Amino acid sequence: MQINSVAELDVADGIATLTLDSAPVNALSAAVRDGLDQGFRAAIADETVQGIVLICAGRTFIAGADISEFDKAPTGAPLHDVLALIEGSPKPVVAAIHGTALGGGLETALVCDYRVATPSAKLGLPEVALGLLPGAGGTQRLPRVVGAEAALEMMAIGKPVRAKDALAMGLVDAITSEDALHADAVAFLKTKLDAPRTRIRDRTDKIAGQDPALFDAFRAKHARAFKGFRAPENIIKAVEAAVTLPFDQGMKREAELFWELFRSRESAAQRYFFFAERQTAKVPDLAADLPEIPVKRVGVIGAGTMGGGIAMNFLNVGLPVTIVEQAQDALDRGVATIRRNYQGSVDKGRMSAEQFEQRMALLTPSLDFEVLGEVDLIIEAVFEKLSLKQEIFARLDKVAKADAILATNTSFLDVDAIAAATGRPESVVGMHFFSPANVMKLLEVVRGAETDPQVVAAAMAIGRRIGKVAVLSRVCDGFIANRMMAPRMAAAQALILEGPLPWEVDRVMLDYGFPMGPFAMLDLVGLDVIGWDAATSSSSSVVEVLCEMGRWGQKKGGGYYDYDDKRRAAPSPIAEQLIRDFAAKTGVTQRAFSDEEIVARLLYPVVNEGARILEEGVAIRASDVDVALVYGYGWPVFTGGPLFWADGVGLAKIADALEEMGHAPSPLLRALAEQGKPLHQYRSAAPAARVIEVA
């Protein structure tokens, strides 16, 4: 019997099966909620039905709420009413789970009497990633099933559990066969038709006598990871309510905590970012029916830190990689580093020894440039010198297959100038990985003036294939992320002459939410590798003098900070005195700065550069810029990224402050401020062919 457009009810041998079919992930839309409501009412009213199986068609069980409905007027059956109907069913109900049961999907399963799952299924309550908590009873029911500690891990961390772990926790009652979920669920339910029933809401065995010290211990354990986020604390409070209050009072407390989060700027930022990340794959001028360029084997030129990390991305997804170097010792070091990285994963239990060897077996080290003629995608990852890269691409032009994709990993050089070294610039694309390349999630795909749309589409698809978030950029100095963050570094280096010391600036950036401050980052990277040249050094800046003194950062035991033998940082009296002396020498008056002033000095110029990037058509949309900064530089996601954050600060305030600092506000920034329009919703009108030389 068809219930509605997404729900169907069938009855056989006393068992009703309600099947939801709402592609792609059976999200709890108004239609799905109505289907659940009407379907369960029909099954309950049918006197021939003794039990009910809830199952989903397609690739997954209910994978959560329909997030697109969050900011719209409610329609359809209210979820809480639907769940109360299922929980109050006079007939036993089993949820048959495959794919994922996430968020509202797991909350729906928790109001059923039983849950069975396929071996590959995953279950979780990941609302924390949206700055929310499970708001349909999850914070009250889950602890009653798995205990408070496990519930906190699932909800405040947001990591789903596999079916076998869910079985061990008591979250599911049985594991079915992978290809007979429905039959196994029916068989399981028939064994329970006469069994006594206890609703999860009425259970207390897993929460009775809970030591209240658990909650403060959990807060302390995760204090660093939770810093800046509101949702984890509200989840902890909700679970505290679950173990201390009667169920109905706990539900009331959950609702209060949910709406507190929903109205917060942090949750708005995280929900915005959720959609922003998914928008990056949409490139307006790429036809959906573009023929795919198959990539079955990859070549990497350069076995250094970056080249090895790039290679690991492809090995991880089962793609054979040929890595090419000029010298045997460099090749051996590169392969050894890859092996050491994988061994570390084995030692931490993240990978089996068998998986380790399988990945290494896919790697072919070579000193022969000619072998690159056998691969479909070649990524150059050598030193950032234009003439060197042009030389390599000229050689590739003679060696590579006619349909091979030729990619450069340059972080700021002119992709078009590199492409011009070949007779096929349409095959050349930038694929800028961030270091460490096997860890960082951002991949900037740089579209040259002549890059073929098929090549652009292929590079974007390859990024997704290896688990990266691919953001499309046009050619300019530094592309999106590096270009945007350059003003922060310049501002930081100027600011320390005016009063704040490096560790004070770093503390403010840490308090803002960055994983590392600019001066700690410089010391980590090495002051000598950010453009210093001993041959031309003239003591014209603090960083030059530090380098001349041999204070290159962590590797030398000192830079802006002093370091002990375990590379633990401490404020450096040497650097402090140098900065004071340099300020006096250059006539800079020093004063105290508030944290708010430091944030403005360092981050308002970043926003301004982002607006220029949009003006010039370097990025497609403002949300792409935010994604690039979050995944490329660790910009705190609870701010939504620099452009979303800027709208919260106020564009007029930022533009006025920039003028006071001596920076010319971007015309786009000033125009949007005057029009009262948000920056984070801006979309570039017409992508530029190329943008070179950013002032």
**E strand or H helix that includes residue 456:** helix 453-465
Out of 541, 567, 586, a domain closes at 586
Answer whether residue 9 shows pLDDT above 60: yes
Answer whether residue 692 shows pLDDT above 70: no
What pLDDT sits at residue 49?
98
Sheet holding 469-474, edge to edge: 363-366, 321-324, 298-301, 377-380, 405-408, 428-433, 442-447, 469-474
Task: Answer for the pair 156, 125: CB distance below 8 angstroms, yes or no.
Answer: no
What pLDDT sits at residue 536?
81
Please calculate the CA angle 527-530-536 and round it to the nearest 5 degrees. Answer: 90
Task: Give the closest residue to 604 by CA, choosing from 475, 482, 473, 492.
Answer: 492
Judgement on whether residues 231 and 325 belong to the same structural domain of the protein: no
Beta bridge partners of 53: 17, 94
Answer whether residue 530 shows pLDDT above 80: no
How is residue 276 written in tokens? 């922003």
- Among all chains, which residue has been given the structure tokens 């049985």? 174
Kindly give the pairing relationship between strand 442-447 and strand 469-474.
parallel
Whole-model pTM: value is 0.92
Task: Answer for the pair 77, 40: CB distance below 8 angstroms, yes or no.
Answer: no
Q: What is the mean pLDDT of the chain?
A: 95
What pLDDT sits at residue 525?
87
Domain that holds residue 79: 2-262
What pLDDT sits at residue 689?
46
What pLDDT sits at residue 684?
86
What pLDDT sits at residue 603?
99
Q: Summarize the confidence of residues 615-619 as an average pLDDT.
A: 96
Asked, for residue 549, whether it belongs to a domain, the answer is yes
Task: Answer for the pair 644, 269: CB distance below 8 angstroms, yes or no.
Answer: yes
Answer whether residue 193 shows pLDDT above 70: yes
Judgement on whether residues 62 and 177 belong to the same structural domain of the protein: yes
CATH number of the domain residue 557 falls in: 1.10.1040.10
Residue 688 binned pLDDT confidence (cut-offs 50, 70, 90): very low
Judgement on whether residues 326 and 429 belong to the same structural domain of the protein: yes
Residue of higher predicted confidence among 445 and 539: 445
How is residue 37 written in tokens? 């409501």
Answer whether residue 301 shows pLDDT above 60: yes
Judgement on whether residues 212 and 308 belong to the same structural domain of the protein: no
Q: Summarize the confidence of residues 551-561 as an average pLDDT.
A: 93
Task: Please tell me the total count of domains within the chain.
Answer: 3
Q: What is the pLDDT of residues 144-175, one digit of tens each?
A: 999 999 999 999 999 999 999 999 999 999 99
> 99: helix, coil or strand?
coil
Please calculate the CA angle 303-307-312 and round it to the nearest 5 degrees. Answer: 105
User: Which residues have CB under 8 Å from 6's CB, separation 6+?
Assistant: 20, 21, 22, 26, 29, 31, 32, 35
What pLDDT sits at residue 686?
55
- The rounded percent of the chain whose pLDDT value lies above 90 is 91
Answer whether residue 690 shows pLDDT above 50: no
Judgement on whether residues 519 and 468 belong to the same structural domain of the protein: no
674, burial (CB in 10 Å: exposed 0-12, middle 13-18, buried 19+) = exposed
Residue 391 designated active-site: no
240, burial (CB in 10 Å: exposed 0-12, middle 13-18, buried 19+) = buried
Q: Summarize the confidence of residues 565-586 as an average pLDDT.
A: 94
Asked, for residue 382, whether it belongs to a domain, the answer is yes
Asked, for residue 457, whether it belongs to a domain, the answer is yes
Asked, for residue 634, whether it belongs to a domain, the answer is no
- CA–CA dist 637, 131 (Å, integer): 10
Q: Summarize the confidence of residues 57-71 as an average pLDDT.
A: 87
Judgement on whether residues 23 and 140 belong to the same structural domain of the protein: yes
For the CA atoms of the chain, what is the radius of gyration?
Answer: 28
Judgement on whether residues 469 and 527 belong to the same structural domain of the protein: no
- CA–CA dist 595, 510 (Å, integer): 11
- CA–CA dist 482, 516 (Å, integer): 16
Q: What is the pLDDT of residues 433-489, one digit of tens each?
A: 999 999 999 999 999 999 999 999 999 999 999 999 999 999 999 999 999 999 999
Judgement on whether residues 203 and 246 belong to the same structural domain of the protein: yes
Task: Answer for the pair 98, 118: CB distance below 8 angstroms, yes or no.
Answer: yes
Other C-beta atoms lying within 10 Å of the C-beta of residue 515: 13
How is residue 527 written in tokens? 């002051």
Q: What is the pLDDT of residues 84-134, one digit of tens each?
A: 999 999 999 999 999 999 999 999 999 999 999 999 999 999 999 999 999
- The rounded percent of the chain whose pLDDT value lies above 70 is 99
Asked, for residue 199, whether it belongs to a domain, the answer is yes
Judgement on whether residues 503 and 465 belong to the same structural domain of the protein: no
Residue 691 binned pLDDT confidence (cut-offs 50, 70, 90): very low
Answer whether residue 635 shows pLDDT above 90: yes
What pLDDT sits at residue 287?
87
Angle between helices 595-615 and 502-512 (to 10 degrees): 70
Residue 127 designated active-site: yes
Asked, for residue 486, whether it belongs to a domain, the answer is no
Helices of type H across 565-678:
573-586, 595-615, 622-633, 642-649, 651-661, 667-675
Judgement on whether residues 506 and 455 belong to the same structural domain of the protein: no
How is residue 361 written in tokens? 């077996």
Asked, for residue 661, whether it belongs to a domain, the answer is no
Other C-beta atoms lying within 10 Å of the C-beta of residue 502: 26
Beta bridge partners of 9: 18
Phi, psi of 110 (to 5 degrees): -75, -15
Q: Summarize the confidence of residues 292-301 as an average pLDDT.
A: 96
Q: Annotated catalytic residue: which of 87, 127, 240, 615? A: 127
CATH number of the domain residue 7 falls in: 3.90.226.10
Out of 262, 288, 309, a domain closes at 262
Judgement on whether residues 256 and 329 belong to the same structural domain of the protein: no
Q: Summarize the confidence of residues 620-641 as an average pLDDT.
A: 97
What pLDDT sits at residue 481?
97
Answer whether residue 71 shows pLDDT above 90: no
Task: Give the closest residue to 298 by CA, choosing from 413, 465, 472, 468.
Answer: 465
User: Which residues have CB under 8 Å from 500's CB, separation 6+?
Assistant: 508, 593, 598
What pLDDT sits at residue 349?
93
CATH number of the domain residue 426 falls in: 3.40.50.720
Q: Is 373 left (phi over 0), alpha (psi -120 to 50) or beta?
A: alpha
Judgement on whether residues 180 and 327 belong to the same structural domain of the protein: no
Asked, for residue 668, whether it belongs to a domain, the answer is no
How is residue 178 written in tokens? 């992978």
**E strand or H helix that includes residue 342:** helix 328-347
Q: Annotated catalytic residue: which of 107, 380, 544, 616? A: 107
- CA–CA dist 84, 88 (Å, integer): 6
Phi, psi of 608 (to 5 degrees): -60, -40
Task: Answer for the pair 186, 177: CB distance below 8 angstroms, yes or no.
Answer: no
